[in-house]
Structure 1
Amino acid sequence: MTDAQADAGTAESQGPVEIDEEMARHIENKRDELLDKFDIPDQFPPEVIEEANARTEDLEEEIASEVDERRDLRDLLTWTTDPIDAQDFDDAISIEEHDDEYVLWVHIADVSHYVNPDTAMWDNAVERANTAYLPGYTIHMLPPVLAETVCSLVPNEDRLAHTVEMHLDKETLSYETIDIYKSVIRSDARLTYTDCENILDDASAADEFVEDSSRLAKKNHLVWELADQMHEQRKEDGSLVLNPRRDRAHTIIEECMLKANKAVTHELMWDRGVEAMYRVHPQPSPDEWSEALREIQDLDGVSVPGDKWDEPRKAVNATLEQAPDRQLNKIQWAVMKVMPRAKYMSDPFSGHHALNFEIYGHFTSPIRRLSDLINHWIVYTNDVPENLTALCDRASEKQQSAEQCEREYSQFLEEIGLNPDAIKNRGIEIVEE
């Protein structure tokens, strides 16, 4: 476990990082400077805020009017799993086990029902292209009021969703059928990652969330068993796993979202043959991979398995599993240095090298990524925007800007004696001197 992971794991029991008012002003000035440098707008235009507020009115009546046009999944046991400080709950899962298959549902908040090409919110989302995450400070792609109300899959409230229903062969975990449709769901529980871990350790921990707690506990165990199988299969197939010691709760969400994203990509390309915003990740050259493996091999206490050198991703996976904790960050950095930058493209056939997926795209985070929002629209309407190539370039460019801004902001925090990971996981509290 890395230091950052350890800090994240204890965030729920720790308070915010405390700073004085002078330090707060210093941080705010630097943040404003960086946002200006990378052209990241921190405020929404009045017409966008006005439109967002209007779309959050008469919520119950609008959902009720949609029920007859959608798949009604409100009786399906459904729950969300997020960090304790999550500001929105935009994805939820459900699962069933049959004799010869698993049925996995991934429900995503139906953002495109509220944000479409005829809205000012859509135009502003194209301008922003993503949510930027600085330690302790978030610059949203969409007005937060959407995530806090109509697009937040809170417990015991009806919500509009875009559901990916996957029937998976029990032996191979391959897709038997994929069905993507608009739905109405009703989440039964909001779990934090710690809640999920507690339930996996002790079924009685589910008592505080639902009346039928044993059922929720069994479903969590079932989805963990499936996620663990999917994770091991990905590694065996050659998917790069730079975080091999991730806890069970994170693994569940990561694997379910990857499976849903891949299912949508399959539907768009193989079943419909349409352009969309695909995620493409080029591979390093053989020399670059060799350079990374040699750097890893030279680390104290680290050994790259000799039979894996010709399969660099598997070599890194195997090395990370055996390496001492103190070397994990150095191994990860050696790999990241030689990795080309992933980008969005309308042509998916360069593939996703790190995941070792032939084609891949994003669907599960339409609140924070333009690519997902546009792919929701394409899945629903089969209408591909005329300027799709420009949108792909825009999303790639703005993601790079946000990442660079986050790096420079984190570096600044370290220079003034603050831990960016602690701030990221616990937030900041300003205290009087």
Structure 2
Amino acid sequence: MTEDDAQSAAGTAEGQGPVEIDEELARHMANKREELFEKFGIRDEFPADVLEEAEARTEDVQQEIQEEVDERRDLREMTTWTTDPIDAQDFDDAISVEERDDEYVLWVHIADVTHYVNPETRMWEEAVERGNTVYLPGYTVHMLPPVLAETVCSLVPNEDRLAHTVEMHLDKEDLGYEEIEIYKSVVRSDARLTYTEAENVLEDPDSADALLEDPEVDLAEKTELVWHLADAMHEQRKEEGSLVLNPSRDRAHTIIEECMLKANKAVTHELMWDRGVEAMYRVHPQPSPDEWDEALREIQELDGVSIPGEAWDDPRRAVNATLEQAPGRQLDKIQWAVMKVMPRAKYMNDPFGGHHALNFEIYGHFTSPIRRLSDLINHWIVYTNDVPEDLVALCDRASDRQKDAEQCEREYKDFLQEVGLDPAAVNNRGIEVVEDEAEGNSAEGEAGTEVAADE
């Protein structure tokens, strides 16, 4: 969830109830969604044969996993956990970590979606058609059937699951990759943490006990370790020129963001440098010097904002430094000044040009195969070392569908504001339809723009 493709799952925020609306407004919202889905060619319902295929793959799950154990790396004894929003329904990534004398070892386990969804299946065809999951405030249109994504492809706690693991050995001094391994595995998550629970564990290690089935699991110790690693990776990214548009991101989100970025970068490093194969790389062109100058001048003119003199030579560092010192009321305006001049990121079969916002020479997506076509295809390429014949068309398809999804989201948010609802409150807390019209149009909550890294 991203500097160029921010997507946050809709749902109920911890500690707050849903936004209440009346039945008439609920119908009005449903009609607007249908109108937008038709405009952007978004399919809300899954074809019957796709659903039947998905349901069939959820049968005899544990037996199938047991049959796979001998063919995979068995990581079930390793401390492993997921961290997601409170309302998350599928858990497709988990982490494990160790500190050794001269290195950190970070494991990012991703649900092995391509074990169930491959080019011979109707689910694959439907995923290509959809391109990505579409997140609207209070409503989600999935790329894969939830009956599959929320069961066998979900790394739920205390159950064996098939995964695709990225194992990274990181030098303690510079956090560079000493070794990268990508392999099929069997994992067993010890805990499902919400972001708030992860923060609580960092504040009070004893709170981890209530989240565990096995009290001997060292979850608090591992969470503390991965936070220090993630914080170091985050500071290193900023130092190396990565654009960070949300300087106040909490520790739990920073952990997930940095671990996923590190895993995505590792996979595309392996594909490009070690294998030399085409893949779905994420390319983000840079603004022209004039466009950057325009953005920096607009930022400099904001009340209470000053760009540090030593930062002007590098626009990304200038923005980072300014955001850290600017008054909170100006953060959205600074972010918007930057986003206006940023070209769209796109998927390409060649990484030429790199990812400007992240300042990565090579980058691609791997960690979200449940919600992004690019990740699903990259999983298949990593596993088979075989590139789809229509890869260029698939890159274009994924880029176009993402653009449509983002425009659909923008127009739906505009509509919500027109009818008196706060999109951020709806997105964070969900919707409840009530009969009493006097309670309709309730839209308490804080509006705001969340900009995360292109993980």
- The TM-score bracket by the shorter chain reads over 0.9
> Map of 1:257-336 to 2, 5 A cutoff?
257-336=260-339
CA drift at 1:133: 0.3
Residue 412 of structure 1 pairs with residue 415 of structure 2: yes
Q: Which of 186, 190, 205 is the matching residue for 1:188? A: 190
CA drift at 1:213: 6.1
Cα pair 1:227 1:252 within 8 Å, conserved:
yes
Q: 1:150 to 1:430 in 2, by over 3 A?
A: same
CA drift at 1:146: 1.2
Q: Which of 163, 166, 170 is the matching residue for 1:164? A: 166
Q: Which amino acid aligns with 2:171?
A: D
**Paired position in structure 2 for 1:402:** 405
- Cα distance per residue 1:371-391 (max 9 Å; x no partner): 000000000000100000000
- Cα distance per residue 1:219-273 (max 9 Å; x no partner): 0000000000000000000000001100000000000000000000000000000
Cα distance in 1 for partners of 2:163, 2:97 equals 16
Cα distance in 1 for partners of 2:229, 2:261 equals 13
**Paired position in structure 2 for 1:53:** 55
> Map of 1:229-248 to 2, 5 A cutoff?
229-248=232-251
**Paired position in structure 2 for 1:15:** 17
- Cα distance per residue 1:70-99 (max 9 Å; x no partner): 000000000000000111100000000001
Q: Which amino acid aligns with 2:110?
A: I
**Partner SS state of residue 364, structure 1:** coil
Cα distance in 2 for partners of 1:185, 1:38 equals 38
Runs of 4+ that moved beyond 3 A: 211-214
Q: Which of 147, 150, 157 is the matching residue for 2:149? A: 147
CA drift at 1:212: 3.3
Q: Which amino acid aligns with 1:118?
A: E
Cα pair 2:130 2:401 within 8 Å, conserved:
yes
Query: TM-score, structure 1 length as denominator?
Result: 0.97
Give the count of matched residue pairs: 427
Cα distance in 1 for partners of 2:295, 2:384 equals 44
**Paired position in structure 2 for 1:97:** 99
**Paired position in structure 1 for 2:90:** 88
Cα pair 1:135 1:423 within 8 Å, conserved:
yes
CA drift at 1:432: 1.0
**Paired position in structure 2 for 1:423:** 426
**Partner SS state of residue 164, structure 2:** strand
Cα distance in 1 for partners of 2:326, 2:13 equals 25
Listed as ranges, the gaps of 5+ residues in structure 2 are 1-5, 437-455
Q: Which amino acid aligns with 2:296?
A: L
> Map of 1:197-208 to 2, 5 A cutoff?
197-208=199-210
RMSD in angstroms over aligned alpha carbons? 1.3
Cα pair 1:203 1:214 within 8 Å, conserved:
no
**Paired position in structure 2 for 1:70:** 72
Cα distance in 1 for partners of 2:82, 2:92 equals 8
Cα pair 2:54 2:123 within 8 Å, conserved:
yes
Cα distance in 2 for partners of 1:10, 1:37 equals 28
> Map of 1:102-113 to 2, 5 A cutoff?
102-113=104-115
Cα distance in 2 for partners of 1:220, 1:143 equals 32
Cα distance in 2 for partners of 1:398, 1:147 equals 20
Cα distance in 2 for partners of 1:145, 1:363 equals 22
CA drift at 1:188: 0.2
**Paired position in structure 1 for 2:396:** 393
**Paired position in structure 2 for 1:34:** 36
Cα pair 1:93 1:105 within 8 Å, conserved:
yes
Cα distance in 2 for partners of 1:276, 1:238 equals 25
Cα pair 1:160 1:182 within 8 Å, conserved:
yes
Cα distance in 2 for partners of 1:417, 1:166 equals 48
**Paired position in structure 2 for 1:252:** 255
- Cα distance per residue 1:146-197 (max 9 Å; x no partner): 1210000000000000000000000000000000000000000000000000
Cα distance in 2 for partners of 1:127, 1:11 equals 31
CA drift at 1:209: 1.6
CA drift at 1:51: 0.2
**Partner SS state of residue 291, structure 1:** helix
Cα distance in 1 for partners of 2:40, 2:216 equals 48
**Paired position in structure 1 for 2:441:** none
CA drift at 1:10: 9.4
CA drift at 1:11: 2.1
Q: 1:128 to 1:85 in 2, by over 3 A?
A: same
Residue 116 of structure 1 pairs with residue 118 of structure 2: yes
